[in-house]
């Protein structure tokens, strides 16, 4: 069900960062997990929208993917001194080595691993999904490109293929 690279001891970390593709359930799991732990939930996309006073897709369309990634990195790096956070960044966050190294040092990085066929259905169902393509032509190319990066940065991987969000949260809570 899950793989571990490191011991999962939340006492040594500031909180948890959930990584995975758009549609993996990061926001859903993050909100409930934060409530159960008494932590603050931070939705990376909402943080960016509030700061930029624009929707994510508008930022990407008007200012470009690289501008968006730079803003995301800068805003999330400001969370450095903060404790007791559950952070749900956008799925493209793994393109920032600087930010991912920071997250690995300060937070537990949990990869919500969902197979492509499920991501494809979830993304198709929600037309406002924001996807950073980084030169890739299809969602499938983006998925496999990011998958290699998710593998590189996770502390705990949860195979969410057959798990509802309540079971994913239970697995995470058991590891703390």
Rg of the chain on CA atoms, in Å: 15
**For residue 84, what are its two tokens?**
């007791």
pLDDT at 2: 47
Most trustworthy range by pLDDT among 2-6, 11-15, 91-95, 128-132:
91-95
Range of the domain at 95: 2-175
Which are the contacts of 14, defined by CB distance < 8 A and separation ≥ 6? 82, 83, 84, 85, 106, 107
User: Does residue 6 carry a pLDDT above 80?
Assistant: no
**99 in helix, strand or coil?**
helix
**pLDDT 10s digits, 88-145:** 998 889 999 999 999 998 899 999 999 999 998 888 766 555 677 777 678 899 999 9
Q: Identify which has the larger pLDDT, 70 or 82.
A: 70
Which helix or strand (DSSP H or E) is residue 26 part of?
helix 26-37
CB 102 within 8 A of CB 93: no
| CATH number for the domain that contains residue 7 | 3.40.50.300
Residue with tokens 């909402």: 46
Which helix or strand (DSSP H or E) is residue 74 part of?
helix 65-77
Overall number of domains in the chain: 1
Which strands, in side-by-side order, build the sheet including 108-113? 2-4, 156-159, 108-113, 15-19, 85-88, 40-43
pLDDT band at 51 (very low <50, low <70, confident <90, very high): very high
Of the candidates 3, 166, 17, 35, which has an alpha carbon nearest to the alpha carbon of residue 101?
Answer: 17
Pick from 7-16, 86-95, 163-172: least confident: 7-16
pLDDT at 114: 95
pLDDT at 132: 74
Average pLDDT over the chain, rounded to an integer: 87
């Amino acid at each position: 069900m899950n793989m571990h690279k490191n011991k999962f001891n939340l006492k040594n970390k500031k909180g948890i960062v959930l990584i995975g593709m758009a549609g993996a359930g990061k926001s859903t799991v993050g909100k409930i997990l934060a409530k159960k732990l008494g932590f603050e939930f931070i939705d990376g996309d909402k943080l960016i929208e509030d700061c930029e006073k624009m929707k994510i897709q508008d930022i990407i369309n008007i200012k470009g993917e690289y501008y968006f990634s730079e803003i995301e990195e800068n805003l999330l790096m400001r969370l450095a001194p903060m404790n007791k956070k559950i952070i749900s960044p956008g799925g493209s966050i793994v393109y920032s080595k600087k930010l991912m190294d920071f997250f690995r040092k300060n937070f537990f990085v949990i990869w919500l691993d969902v197979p492509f066929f499920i991501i494809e259905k979830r993304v198709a169902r929600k037309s406002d999904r924001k996807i950073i393509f980084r030169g890739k032509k299809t969602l499938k190319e983006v998925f496999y490109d990011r998958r290699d990066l998710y593998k590189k940065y996770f502390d705990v991987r949860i195979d969410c293929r057959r798990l509802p969000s309540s079971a994913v949260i239970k697995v995470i809570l058991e590891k703390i």
